[in-house]
Structure 1
Amino acid sequence: MKIRILAGAVALVSSVALSGCGYLPGAGAGSSTVTVWLMKGSTSQGFLDRFKESYEDEHPSVELEFILQEWGGIGPKVMKALEGDDAPDVIEVGNTQVAQYAESGELRDLTLESMRELGGEDWLPGLAEPGKVNGGQYGIPWYAANRVVIYNKDIFAQAGITELPRTREQWVDISERLNTSGRQGIYLAGQNWYVLAGFIWDEGGELADDSGGDWEGALDSPAALRGMDFYRTLQALGGGPEDADEQSPPETDVFAEGDVAQIISVPGSAALIEQGNPELRGKLGYFPIPGKSAKRPGSVFTGGSDLIVPENADQRSEGIEVVKALAGEKWQTELARTMSYVPNKPALARVVEGEEGTSAMAEGATEGRATPNSPHWPAVEADNPIKPYMTAVLEGGDPAEEAKKASDRITSKLITG
């Protein structure tokens, strides 16, 4: 499934919007045309124009054709292409979608290319791990984004807070100080399960695991229960609804009202906040979600895209070369600066230094993770048992009992799809 934080907030606030679906005409005829499916909103027209011109100059016998796709309904469309006789040569997919496509047996294993020429051992784990299935690297990391804490600098200053928290303990202490009459220390909706996932991972737990050979829900483990307990502590330091997610109402709208000190969201959400309340321009700050110790930030859910190459692509070899270029340092740098994304390697975080929100996101990305790498995980998200579990606990239900029920539902979906 494509990650909501990119399909929603980040795509909406991208600095340059893509203008419709279609192909980019080539500058000249080449002996081979490499067809690349990219998702609408993932990058700008300007980036694609620059990449196309540069690549075709360096490869005179190649013409690039970019076809922009909508995220809605993309899964069946990709599966049909993979199983047909007219597959594109490169496809951008959500990082958590790779497993279900690899299960079809119709993807090219790019392990040799990724390790030998792209330095795959240095990729962000939240992008690289979902692209690795049964020991083969089928998805090549392209870009990433993850949540950070967005805070109101004026409210922090009024409360006398001059140092940003580096640990959970400091974070809770600050949020308690900020949570006063008429002001929310933090706005956290009760069903923001992506945030909960990070807390569970920090404790050493999982949403689901396959340690026994088959995928099973794992919300009822002691570690996962500790993660939910921390979520409950933090969520109580504001007025977020216990029975809704971050879109009901949109957390950016709530923050824009001016009496919320913090939210947990992607940096791109700042544009929506400022749109709702222009008086907040220049008053928003960012810091990585704090971890259990100051040695490293908290775990975060990594959203983003990988690039795949269909086994039956007409220009498969040329498609692999295009993937290498898009995932290499030159164009990773260009993409990160153009779109305020996190590059696919922590070592490239320097290219977004000076951009406060993106820098905080890049720091947090070093502790990034993805959802369980099961081809049936999309079925879990389609009718998500984690959300009602969270609400039940926040409303006073027994955590262990509610976690067991939710875990059983997850197990059932991972078995049957």
Structure 2
Amino acid sequence: MRRRLLALVCVSASLLSGCGLMPDSGTQRRTVTVWLMQHSASQDFLDRFTEDFEREHPRLDLDIRIQEWTGIGEKVQKALESGKPDGPDVIEVGNTQVSTYAEGEGLLDLTLESLRDWGRDDWLPGLAEPGQWGSQQYGIPWYAANRVVIYRKDLFRQAGITAPPSTRDEWLTVTEKLDTGGNQGIYLAGQDWYTLAGFIWEEGGELAKERNGVWRGALDSPAALRGMDFYRRLQALGDGPVDSDEEHPPQAGVFAEGRVAQIVAVPGLARAVLKQNPDLEDELGYFPVPGRTAGTPGAVFTGGSDLVVPANTDAKDAAVEVVAALTGARWNTDLARTMNYVPNKAGLADSVAGEEGVAAMAAGAAQGRATPGTPQWSAVEADNPIKEYMTKVLTGADPATEAGRAARRITEALAFD
């Protein structure tokens, strides 16, 4: 949502005469079709952005079309192949989906724009890195969301805990202290593999690594095994099921029952908790997932969206201007405040500092990561060996043996083409 559009595309006097959006290039109007996902932005936000954008760009009309996540992958692929007249010029995609679309050369390379005008070096890594394919930038970070610790202030007070923990060691100590008197220190399902991923990254490990174009599973590295060991120790300080994930049963319902001191979730989950137990309205607090050292939050998985431009658009310059506007500081911070998101740059985190849960999320997002940047990662998640690995370790199996087995399965899935 940016208003400085021409300056982003026509950056020098030598280019002005060739820029189709310049005032002396005629009076023909152009419509820019934008696909955004359902619930990503409120209608009020979209109305305000459209009015402002069209006022500042009198020869451009925005046609924003809201899409549903169900079946969106196939729909985007079809649009990248067919193009206009009905295809989009700008598309919102999940940050981990960019490589899938870029692999088939369906996206416009935005590397030069991102380096020159958009502050690429300041983007959140969990959005910027998966937006790359090879060394090129195809996805431009829009907004982020990630897990934090949601905790019960009253249970912390009852246990004599005056402040949230600032390191992982402190987190274990505090959680053990909370795990008494019929309360669970933390509810952590045994197959919450996104949370495990953060612990692995915090130790310097990876889910998978690429070398010479070949991806291999990496759960069996010493660093990844340390991440799993921390997960095991933390998970034992509660009664989370070892053989299911955080949605089975939904952890919001478990937390709402009133005997759980902490969960790891996006702050928005608090709404579901309060719907089931309104008495907790004033008792919920938030802090970033702790890291190994005080003052630096732990690594977390970053979800969110990037904006891409189809290579087959017939309105390249106009599409780039829309992306510049939506991802620029003015409208990006507006979206973050409106929707309780994390802005696309750590330097914009102050814009959401007034909301405790979002502020905690923004602090963690600075250490955010995404799943391995290969289109084949979806094959791993389809029959996720990480979940089985976690359950086996939590039920007493040898971690190194099971990690090796899971790593081999990941390698096999990533080799599938």
TM-score by length of 1: 0.92
Q: What amino acid does structure 2 have at the position aligned with 1:269?
A: L
Aligned twin of 2:377: 377
Select the residue among 65, 70, 73 that pairs with 1:72.
Answer: 70
Contact preservation (8 Å) 1:35, 1:66: yes
What is the 5 A alignment of 1:193-342?
193-342=193-342
Q: How far did 1:213 drift?
A: 3.4
Q: How far did 1:95 drift?
A: 0.3
Aligned twin of 2:35: 37
Secondary structure in 1 matching 2:162: coil
* Residues in 2 aligned to 1:199 and 1:355: alpha-carbon distance in whole angstroms: 26
Aligned twin of 1:14: none
Corresponding pairs, count: 389
Is 1:184 equivalent to 2:180 in the alignment?
Answer: no
Q: How far did 1:376 drift?
A: 0.8
Aligned twin of 1:401: 401
Secondary structure in 1 matching 2:348: helix
Secondary structure in 1 matching 2:211: coil
Q: What amino acid does structure 1 have at the position aligned with 2:56?
A: E
Secondary structure in 1 matching 2:130: coil
Aligned twin of 2:361: 361
What is the 5 A alignment of 1:109-148?
109-148=109-148
* Residues in 2 aligned to 1:60 and 1:414: alpha-carbon distance in whole angstroms: 48
Q: How far did 1:212 drift?
A: 4.8
* Residues in 2 aligned to 1:269 and 1:43: alpha-carbon distance in whole angstroms: 18
* Residues in 2 aligned to 1:41 and 1:247: alpha-carbon distance in whole angstroms: 21
Q: How far did 1:132 drift?
A: 1.1
Aligned twin of 1:57: 55
Where in structure 2 are there 5+ consecutive unaligned residues? 1-26
Comparing 173-182 and 230-239, the one that deviates more? 173-182
Q: How far did 1:61 drift?
A: 0.8
* Residues in 1 aligned to 2:58 and 2:345: alpha-carbon distance in whole angstroms: 30
* Residues in 2 aligned to 1:354 and 1:138: alpha-carbon distance in whole angstroms: 32
* Residues in 1 aligned to 2:212 and 2:238: alpha-carbon distance in whole angstroms: 39
Deviations 1:77-119 (A, max 9, x none): 1111101132310000000000010001111000111111111
Q: How far did 1:295 drift?
A: 3.6
* Residues in 1 aligned to 2:56 and 2:413: alpha-carbon distance in whole angstroms: 48
Q: How far did 1:36 drift?
A: 0.4
* Residues in 1 aligned to 2:286 and 2:94: alpha-carbon distance in whole angstroms: 25
Deviations 1:13-45 (A, max 9, x none): xxxxxxxxxxxxxxxx97111000011011111
* Residues in 2 aligned to 1:212 and 1:394: alpha-carbon distance in whole angstroms: 34
Instruction: Give the root-mean-square deviation of aligned CA atoms.
Output: 1.1
Contact preservation (8 Å) 1:36, 1:64: yes
Q: How far did 1:205 drift?
A: 0.4
Percent identity over paired residues: 64
Where in structure 1 are there 5+ consecutive unaligned residues? 1-28
Comparing 241-250 and 402-411, the one that deviates more? 402-411
Q: Larger radius of gyration, structure 1 or 2?
A: 2
Q: What amino acid does structure 1 have at the position aligned with 2:177?
A: R
Secondary structure in 1 matching 2:65: strand
Contact preservation (8 Å) 1:99, 1:375: yes
Aligned twin of 1:99: 99
* Residues in 2 aligned to 1:134 and 1:194: alpha-carbon distance in whole angstroms: 24
Secondary structure in 2 matching 1:209: strand
Q: How far did 1:314 drift?
A: 1.9
Comparing 299-308 and 312-321, the one that deviates more? 312-321
Closer, same or farther: CA 30–360 of 1 in aligned 2, 3 Å: farther
Closer, same or farther: CA 57–155 of 1 in aligned 2, 3 Å: same
Secondary structure in 1 matching 2:343: coil
Closer, same or farther: CA 30–363 of 1 in aligned 2, 3 Å: farther
Q: What amino acid does structure 2 have at the position aligned with 1:408?
A: R
* Residues in 2 aligned to 1:167 and 1:111: alpha-carbon distance in whole angstroms: 37
Aligned twin of 1:352: 352
Contact preservation (8 Å) 1:219, 1:404: yes
Aligned twin of 2:79: 81
Contact preservation (8 Å) 1:148, 1:287: yes
Comparing 205-214 and 366-375, the one that deviates more? 205-214
